[in-house]
Amino acid sequence: MPKITFIPQNKEIGVETGTNLLKAADEAGLYIEGDCAGKGTCGKCRVKIVEGDTGKPTKAEEKHLSAGDLKAGWVLSCQRKIKQDSVVEVPIQKDAHLRKTTLAGGVESLEAEPLVEKCFVKLSRPAVKDQTADLERLLNHLKRPDLSVELRELSGLPAMLRNNAFSVTATITGNKIISIEPGDTSNQLYGIAFDIGTTTIMGSLIDLKNAEVTAVAAVTNPQNIYGADVISRINHASQGKEELKQLQDKVLEAANNVIKDLLKQTKVARDRVYEIVAVGNTTMSHLFMGIDPTYLAPAPFIPAYSRALEVEASDLGLKVNPSGRVTFLPNLAGYVGSDTVGVILATGMDRREDNCAAIDIGTNGELVLAANGKLMACSTAAGPAFEGAQIKQGMRASAGAVETVRYVDNEIQLSTIDDAPACGICGSGLIDAAAALLEAGLVDASGRFVNPEENPEDVPAHFKDRLKRGKGGFEFILVPGEDSENGEDIVLSQGDLRELQLAKGAIYAGLMILLKEAGINENDLDEVLLAGAFGNYVRKESALAIGLLPQLPPEKIVAVGNAAGDGSKMSLASKTVRERALALPGKVQHLELSTRSDFQDIFVDALKYR
């Protein structure tokens, strides 16, 4: 039986000869990125065979891997069958935020105040003088005659009591016993907090006794085969019940993979996970629960529901305790989901007394404003520019992406993720680049490149060669071909500047509308919080420079990390936080920007750089 050693994780696993390497990694509890479920079409599941036979590359490998990579031992793990002992290097995921286990700075911490409680009891034995039924004997001992009990737990109760000297542990949530276990299992009490993203599904296993995060795991949202954005997925789901079910099955299957990973990492038994809390945008929430999202797409953008939905794990086929409770936190509007609820909880905005805005930037930017003790929220169609999409050489934040660009001593300085040869530009690099070019005077406030042909005096001599004419206008060469990964220039185009303008303008205009509704202006803001991975990586100075954020001192701009996911964890760990979450739909005023007569004016004004 061949043995595979995965490095740098140092996990060993023995497998049958011919086992698929992607599967073997999965069995070893390792997460290898991939979008195509092992079909060889996405090219993402690259691993490097350090020892062992690499064999002949498959067609899929020839398509996705360069000759140099192949020579170095890189393969697609889905394409490989293992025939001998091997050492395989698994690249550490560059989406490092997926693996973050602690709550980001600036957000509230986890408090252990679980909704699920466990009680170990030792009952007196029945006798002719005490013919109390088994269930009532248990409830009397718990002094909770009001509790109901899951049928599936009741069926086995008589034998369990008699086989275990009438000593059992009851798991109670609300007014229901959801599990009865033999002996004393009161120290095994777990829950999982999910952040169901359009792109990535993250889960954290939490020991509910002490609110400790014991493991985290993530997978790509496999709904991506129906489109990268929520509108594509809504359109697919709208075609019929079967299509809706396809999308639900995908996300639940992914959630089950996360669960499997979490349980494997910690050796926690499936049945000891009694609660799941999830956040996500409104579309994800509908698809997760299998509810028709059709009318989210057209105006007036109406969700089927906004409240939190609570179901049993078995209703969804989630592989934790079948009676475990699954709660998807409430959404606030069609495009302001429970992920925003998570942001509000994690940042404590629902309890803050100062004026504070939170911005969660993604394809849709969600904005929350706490002002004068009131909460308002809106969404803006920022477009995917901040995620590197719609940008000429845009890419997600992974190795080789230009991530910082600065204008220092009259020069453009830049760095890439992992210092790898540049292969594109990610969201933070894009904002940095625009800010640097503005500072260098190569771009004017309207967002246009200065024309080196018409106004040659405006372009410093050493930049002249880097400003070239492209298809859609001028382009600035950030990285010349000789330094890039594939020999092509990495450029920032006029089109890229326009995309960025639209995106940042939408965010900024949204914030202005919220401030206007609250009757304050940007100087009244005590703090602006940047939520999400993007907020962690963007340079505040650049964001301020391009006018994405209001003109505040940088110390008032605070990145709070994945606040949505943190809010999910907090709601899982604490009854008090959960109550706050459930109350939010009634507390947050939603503003629909798309049809406001004042939005267009403010938006056009917000397009300007500074």
Which residues of the shown chain bind a second copy in the complex (CB under 8 A)?
Answer: 126-128, 130-136, 148-149, 151, 154-159, 162, 244, 289-292, 294-295, 299-307, 309-311, 315, 331, 333-334, 585, 590, 592, 594-595
Is residue 53 within 8 Å of 18, Cβ to Cβ? no
Q: 442: buried, middle or exposed (CB in 10 Å: 19+, 13-18, 0-12)?
A: buried
Q: CB-wise, 132 or 246, nearer to a second copy? A: 132
Q: CB-wise, 82 or 178, nearer to a second copy? A: 178
Residue 239 CB, nearest approach to a second copy (Å) = 12
Q: CB-wise, 226 or 301, nearer to a second copy? A: 301
Residue 226 CB, nearest approach to a second copy (Å) = 18
Residue 230 CB, nearest approach to a second copy (Å) = 16
Q: CB-wise, 310 or 541, nearer to a second copy? A: 310
* Total Cβ atoms within 10 A of residue 398: 20
Residue 373 CB, nearest approach to a second copy (Å) = 23
Residue 183 CB, nearest approach to a second copy (Å) = 19
Which residue from 449, 433, 453 is spatially nearest to 441, judged by alpha carbons? 449
3-class SS of residue 253:
helix
Residue 71 CB, nearest approach to a second copy (Å) = 53
CA separation for the pair 348, 351 (Å, rounded): 5
Q: CB-wise, 96 or 299, nearer to a second copy? A: 299
* b/e sequence 88-112, b meaning 16+ C-beta within 10 Å: bbbbeebbebbebeebbebbbebee
Q: CB-wise, 219 or 308, nearer to a second copy? A: 308
Is residue 101 within 8 Å of 216, Cβ to Cβ? yes
**Residue 201: C-alpha distances to residues 65, 78, 218, 287, 539 (Å):** 27, 21, 5, 13, 26
3-class SS of residue 350:
coil
Instruction: Compute and round to an integer the Cα radius of gyration of the chain.
Output: 27
Q: CB-wise, 72 or 302, nearer to a second copy? A: 302
Residue 304 CB, nearest approach to a second copy (Å) = 5
Residue 291 CB, nearest approach to a second copy (Å) = 5
Got the DSSP string for 276-306?
A: EEEEE-HHHHHHHHT---GGGSSTT---S--
Residue 475 CB, nearest approach to a second copy (Å) = 40
Residue 586 CB, nearest approach to a second copy (Å) = 9
Take residue 75 and report the two structure tokens written for it: 């393969």
Residue 575 CB, nearest approach to a second copy (Å) = 19
Tracing tokens 């490092």 back to the chain, one arrives at: 96
Q: CB-wise, 127 or 461, nearer to a second copy? A: 127
Take residue 162 and report the two structure tokens written for it: 């008699």
Residue 585 CB, nearest approach to a second copy (Å) = 8
CA separation for the pair 219, 31 (Å, rounded): 8
Q: Are strands 200-207 and 190-196 parallel, antiparallel or unpaired?
A: antiparallel
Q: CB-wise, 145 or 519, nearer to a second copy? A: 145
Q: CB-wise, 336 or 570, nearer to a second copy? A: 336
Helix (H) / strand (E) containing 176: strand 176-182
Take residue 563 and report the two structure tokens written for it: 């606040």
Give the N- to C-terminal CA distance of the chain in Å, as an integer.
64
CA separation for the pair 427, 534 (Å, rounded): 8
Q: CB-wise, 290 or 342, nearer to a second copy? A: 290
Take residue 187 and report the two structure tokens written for it: 């120290």
Which residue from 221, 199, 567, 525 is spatially nearest to 386, judged by alpha carbons? 199
Residue 376 CB, nearest approach to a second copy (Å) = 14
User: What single-letter amino acid sits at 78?
Assistant: C
CA separation for the pair 435, 278 (Å, rounded): 37
Q: CB-wise, 55 or 158, nearer to a second copy? A: 158
Q: 390: buried, middle or exposed (CB in 10 Å: 19+, 13-18, 0-12)?
A: middle
Q: CB-wise, 289 or 572, nearer to a second copy? A: 289
Q: CB-wise, 303 or 384, nearer to a second copy? A: 303
CA separation for the pair 21, 42 (Å, rounded): 16
**Residue 56: C-alpha distances to residues 22, 24, 60, 71, 379 (Å):** 17, 20, 11, 11, 50
Residue 333 CB, nearest approach to a second copy (Å) = 6
